[in-house]
Structure 1
């Protein structure tokens, strides 16, 4: 799962980023509103954490831009601003939560878990996903196993498999893969197919099905049937 963090306090930014990376999240963090705008206009994330008072565009302005592009994705505001006007404005612009600084990291994680479960319909406490044919994927550490033996994945293979696991038995379009795995950065079609092919070779034949002209589908199976 990809999380975007806007926090201009270097120490807090690093603390949050490291803590969430240890939980298995993929983190993109910036310390100013200019970089935040550039990232959200060119990339897609699953959840956003925004401070309000940052250099450049404010967290409110960044939130407003996010809501123009994504109506439903979770946005958590973390701020030392305690006056009701700032809090009201954040909710009016569409934030899902407002966490007042200072806060414990565990408190932030609890808020993340709630929004991931209620909005994204994903339970991050369910670490291991059974994929069938003896394969398991640990969403927390992004590791793939077959009969408890780890299969080494590259960074992009982990992102790709995470995208598939979050969309089991659903068609994942080439555009979704481009956005999630490559952050919408320029990539040749042959490079994308290469990563998909390499991941296919690490799984049982047929688990990643090519939907001609559309994209791919990860076929989950009931292990008891095999």
Structure 2
């Protein structure tokens, strides 16, 4: 799962980033609203954590941009602003949660778990792919008969995207955007990544849809 973090306090930003990474999340962290807007417009994320008072575009402006493009992605506001006006404005603009600073990281993680569970892409974290293979969307772990299979970072990102689009075509453009952050890459890199992931799954689970992309089939 890819998490977008906007927090201008460098120490807190580092704590949240490292804590989430230790839980298996992939975190893109930023300290100012200028860079944040640029990244949001050019990349895909599964969850947003936004501070309100940052340089450049503030948290409310960022929230407006997010909701203009997607109504369902969870957005959690973290802020030292505890007045009811800011809280009400945040919810009116479409945030899913508002956590007042200071807070315990475990509280933030519990809120994240709660909102991930409500995502439309899954009714639960563990997705059974057949009688032997399963994938945990929260931990981003692939299992064969309950034994974890080692995945690289890009393999985890690709597997997450394929599971989120289970039995549907995942376009080449979607993979490029999600796994490579739309950065320049050679076509052979994607084919190589697909090939490596196929070898870790049952034959025929990932199929190539010519001219469109790839599909993960539930058996």
Q: Within 5 Å, which residues of 2 pair with 1:76-225? A: 76-122=76-122, 126=125, 128-132=126-130, 134-147=132-145, 150-221=148-219
Determine if contact 1:116/1:123 at 8 Å carries over to the other structure. no
Matches within 5 A, 1:53-68: 53-68=53-68
Distance 2:188 2:179 in 1: 14
Residue 3 (structure 1) aligns with: 3
Once the 2 structures are TM-superposed, how far is the Cα of residue 140 of structure 1 from its aligned partner? 4.7
Q: CA deviation at 1:111?
A: 1.4
Deviation at 1:50?
0.1
In structure 2, do the counterparts of structure 1 residues 150 and 85 end up closer, same or farther at CA, with 3 Å as the change threshold? Answer: closer
Counterpart-to-counterpart distance in 1, 2:160 and 2:208? 17
Structure 1: give runs of 5+ residues left out of the alignment: 222-226
8 Å Cα contact 2:166/2:217 also seen in 1: yes
- Verify the 8 A CA contact 2:198 2:206 in the aligned structure 1: yes
Equivalent pair of 1:143/1:150 in contact (CA under 8 Å): yes
3-state SS of paired residue (1:132): coil
Stretches of structure 2 that go unaligned for 5 or more consecutive residues are none
Task: Give the Cα–Cα distance (whole angstroms) in 2 for the partners of residues 3 and 15 of structure 1.
Answer: 14
Offset from partner CA, 1:155-191 (integer Å, 9 cap, x none): 2111101111222222212122112111122223232
The 1:107–1:151 alpha-carbon spacing in structure 2 relative to 1, beyond 3 Å, is closer
- Whether the 8 Å contact between 1:113 and 1:123 is mirrored in structure 2 is no
Q: Secondary structure at the match of 1:3?
A: strand
CA distance in 1, matches of 2:5, 2:55: 14
Return the TM-score normalized by structure 1.
Answer: 0.87
Pair 1:22-2:22 in alignment: yes
Counterparts of 1:71 and 1:166, CA distance in 2: 17
Q: What RMSD in Å do the two structures reach over aligned CA positions?
A: 2.0
Structure 2: distance between partners of 1:68 and 1:171? 25
**How big is the shift at 1:78?**
0.5
Q: Quick one: structure 1 residues 136 and 72, their matched pair in 2 at CA, closer, same or farther if it must change by over 3 Å?
A: closer
CA distance in 2, matches of 1:63, 1:210: 36
